[in-house]
């Protein structure tokens, strides 16, 4: 071999490291075979269960964390400015007589009632409080009421003085002539006399002005002139002038002119200024704090008389709307109105409801109530069911028989009608919304535990005969510990599955009560009470955002609980593949 020859060596093959075998009591093997880990592994392999778990996590965040982050509260009402035709004044054609009393005279309510009775029966005279009256229709819608003062009495065709009155010479001849002509009113020496009859007696009486009863309304242009406008002399003189279509009349030495118009007549003073407005149309503001100028009333009366629909005053347009015999004068007013049924917007992503509240915030708080009701009710059902079922299954015999008959008694109570009855009673008693929530949860929990009690009883009847219970007997532990520390934990996997499935049912039942108006009441919200707003067909077909989001939340939540319940059932099943 030369010096340049290279010596090569073949490498030894690498031997694989043997995998150590785990003994049955090895801690690592025990950890791998832990029942909890096996259940979790099986549950996480179920895709529907994971989807349901994600849905529930989202719902809990939405319902319990969402209201904290929301800028609104569940009872916050939102307003907006809007131009609306708002009632400003009202008008009606007057059909009620209004009285103006002459100076120094009285005409009380009793006398007015007797006058209306006589006028309705077309009796020419009437009396009140021993005083005789008569009336004359001076013009259409205006009646002059006169008090009669007896001067003489007819005694067998001859006049004798009435009281201490003096019969003027020649009055008897004038009276007999009027009587022969069958007249009830006659003139003598410029004085008007009335012939009246009371029973079988006839009297000759003079007249004295007492009051004017009129259907016309007088509105002074200046409030300081109201005393003049409302005086008897002014009303009587203007009535006669308007009746005779005269252009002027005189009262207390002052001359007034009349300007005739449609629906109203304007009376002007000597200087030509408008003094008063006369009309049968009453125009008053709906808000008594408002003052309506006479010019406004004049325009309104003209439009009503011409059957118009609008007029303009001080640059503002007014609309006249007739409803039966009433007229409503409206004007466009900027008002703050509630944002009812507002469609989704950046400010309100799911719109607003019928009360102008943010629908998204109401859904958040409603989810909190619906989930809270579901969990509290199911918790009550499980606690009551475990106690009754555990005691019944462990002791059996007479105790078992008595408790099961108690369960049968509860099962015989009509569930849904009882809840409806309790809801109606709480409506009648006007129970506060928060108290109603707790009562509702208690009622649902107390009425729904019987199924769980039967299930627990059946399981414990099977478990109490197994070897581990024989061991507990040997240790001498107390009975309550045997039931709730050894038997009930072996039933817990099944209870968890049942409780998870029951949550969806309770939420649906609560939503049904809310939809029927028997569940949670305003201002609290639940998904069911939110859907109740859409019980009106118009709301359901027009405002989809009122009921659709709440319905979807109920659907997703119930599906989530059902998926998780199915996943837990499969995970606890020992026949599942490892």
Map residue 231 onto helix, strand or coil: coil
pLDDT of residue 178: 85
The structure tokens 């409206």 sit at: 330
pLDDT of amino acid 97 = 92
- Distance between CA 219 and CA 101 in Å, rounded? 17
User: What per-residue confidence (pLDDT) applies to 1?
Assistant: 45
Options 3.90.1150.10, 1.10.3720.10, 3.40.50.300, 3.30.70.890; which CATH number does 38-72+351-572 get?
Answer: 1.10.3720.10
Phi, psi of 18 (to 5 degrees): -65, 135
- Residue range(s) in the chain whose domain bears CATH number 1.10.3720.10: 38-72+351-572
Distance between CA atoms of residues 337 and 87, nearest Å: 15
User: What pLDDT does 12 receive?
Assistant: 60
Cβ distance 197 to 123 under 8 Å?
no
User: What is the pLDDT, as a whole number, of residue 467?
Assistant: 63
Interatomic CA distance for residues 113 and 127, integer angstroms: 11
Residue whose token pair is 């499969």? 570
Backbone angles phi, psi at 548, to 5 degrees: -65, -50
CA-CA-CA-CA torsion sign (282, 283, 286, 287): negative
Answer whether 0.85 is exceeded by the pTM: no
Return d(Cα 53, Cα 559) in angstroms, integer.
10
- Kind of pairing between the strands at 217-220 and 185-188: unpaired
Pairing outcome for strands 326-338 and 79-93: antiparallel
Q: Which among 527, 546, 523 is positioned nearest to 536, based on CA atoms?
A: 546
d(CA 223, CA 242): 23
How many DSSP H helices and E strands does the chain contain? 20, 18
Tokens of 67: 């209201």
Residue 458 CB burial class (10 angstroms; 0-12, 13-18, ≥19): middle
Q: Residue 211 forms beta bridges with which residues?
A: 101, 145
d(CA 232, CA 462): 107
Distances (CA, A) of 239 to 2, 18, 103, 320: 160, 131, 18, 29
Distance, in Å, from the CA atom of 516 to the CA atom of 397, rounded to the nearest integer, reads 44
In this prediction, residue 24 carries a pLDDT of 47
Residue 577's pLDDT is what?
47
SS (H, E, C) 233-280: HHHHHHHHHHHCCCCEEEECCEEEEEEECCCCEEEECCCCCEEEEEEC
In 105-253, beta strands by DSSP E: 125-128, 131-139, 142-155, 158-161, 185-188, 191-198, 201-214, 217-220, 248-251
Residues near 187 by beta carbon (within 8 Å), at least 6 away in sequence: 193
> From residue 496, how far is each of 211, 382, 482, 564 by CA, in Å?
92, 9, 20, 10
pLDDT in tens, the chain (578 residues): 445 454 545 556 655 656 566 554 555 554 555 667 777 888 888 899 899 999 999 999 999 999 999 999 888 999 988 878 888 899 999 999 999 999 989 999 999 999 999 999 988 888 888 888 999 898 988 999 998 888 888 887 788 888 778 888 888 888 888 888 888 888 888 888 888 887 778 888 888 899 999 999 999 999 889 999 999 999 999 999 999 999 999 998 899 999 998 888 999 998 889 999 999 999 999 888 888 899 899 899 989 988 889 999 998 999 999 988 899 999 988 878 889 999 999 999 999 998 899 999 999 999 998 899 888 999 999 889 888 888 888 787 888 889 888 888 888 888 778 888 888 888 888 888 888 888 888 888 888 888 888 888 888 887 776 666 666 666 667 777 777 776 777 787 788 888 887 888 888 888 888 877 777 888 888 888 888 888 888 888 899 999 999 999 999 999 998 898 888 888 876 554 44
């Amino acid at each position: 071999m030369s010096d340049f020859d290279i010596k090569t060596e073949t490498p030894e093959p690498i031997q694989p490291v043997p995998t150590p075998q785990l003994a049955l009591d090895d801690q690592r093997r025990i950890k791998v075979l832990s029942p909890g880990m096996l259940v979790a592994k099986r549950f996480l392999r179920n895709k529907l269960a994971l989807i349901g778990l994600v849905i529930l996590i989202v719902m809990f965040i939405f319902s319990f964390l969402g209201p904290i982050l929301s800028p609104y509260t569940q009872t916050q009402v939102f307003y907006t400015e809007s131009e609306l035709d708002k009632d400003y004044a009202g008008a009606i054609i007057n059909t009620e007589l209004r009285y103006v009393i002459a100076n120094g005279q009285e005409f009380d309510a009793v006398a007015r009632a007797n006058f209306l009775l006589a006028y309705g029966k077309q009796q020419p005279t009437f009396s009140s409080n021993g005083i005789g009256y008569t009336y004359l229709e001076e013009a259409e819608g205006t009646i002059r009421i006169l008090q009669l003062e007896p001067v003489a009495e007819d005694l067998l065709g001859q006049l004798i003085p009435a009281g201490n009155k003096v019969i003027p010479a020649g009055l008897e001849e004038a009276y007999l002539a009027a009587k022969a002509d069958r007249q009830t009113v006659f003139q003598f020496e410029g004085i008007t006399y009335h012939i009246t009859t009371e029973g079988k007696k006839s009297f000759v009486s003079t007249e004295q002005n007492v009051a004017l009863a009129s259907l016309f309304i007088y509105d002074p242009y200046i409030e300081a002139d109201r005393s003049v406008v409302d005086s008897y002399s002014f009303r009587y003189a203007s009535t006669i002038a308007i009746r005779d279509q005269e252009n002027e009349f005189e009262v207390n030495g002052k001359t007034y002119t009349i300007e005739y118009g449609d629906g109203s007549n304007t009376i002007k003073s000597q200087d030509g200024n408008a003094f008063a407005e006369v009309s049968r149309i009453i125009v008053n503001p709906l808000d008594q704090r408002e003052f309506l100028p006479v010019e406004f009333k004049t325009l309104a009366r003209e439009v009503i008389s011409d059957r118009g629909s609008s007029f303009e005053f001080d640059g503002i347009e007014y609309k006249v709307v007739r409803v039966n015999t009433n007229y409503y004068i409206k004007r466009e007013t900027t008002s703050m109105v509630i944002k009812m049924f507002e469609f989704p917007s950046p400010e309100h992503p799911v719109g607003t409801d019928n009360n102008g509240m943010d629908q998204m915030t109401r859904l958040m708080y409603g989810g909190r109530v619906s989930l809270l009701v579901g969990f509290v009710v199911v918790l009550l059902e499980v606690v009551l069911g475990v106690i009754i079922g555990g005691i019944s299954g462990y002791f059996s015999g007479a105790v078992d028989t008595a408790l099961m008959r108690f369960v049968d008694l509860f099962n015989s109570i009509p569930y849904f009608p009882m809840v409806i009855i309790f809801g109606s009673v709480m409506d009648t008693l006007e129970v506060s919304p928060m108290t109603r929530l707790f009562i509702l949860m208690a009622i649902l929990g107390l009425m729904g535990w019987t199924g769980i009690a039967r299930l627990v009883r059946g399981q414990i009847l099977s478990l109490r005969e197994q070897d581990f219970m024989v061991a507990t007997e040997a240790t001498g532990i107390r009975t309550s510990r045997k039931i709730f520390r050894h038997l009930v934990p072996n039933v817990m996997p099944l209870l968890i599955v049942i409780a998870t499935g029951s949550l969806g049912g309770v939420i649906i039942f609560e939503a049904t009560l809310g939809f029927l108006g028997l569940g949670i009441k305003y201002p609290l919200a639940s998904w069911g009470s939110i859907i109740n707003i859409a019980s009106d067909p118009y709301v359901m077909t027009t405002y989809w955002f009122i009921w659709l989001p709440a319905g979807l939340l109920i659907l997703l939540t119930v599906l989530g609980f059902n998926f998780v319940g199915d996943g837990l059932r499969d995970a606890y099943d020992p026949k599942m593949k490892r």
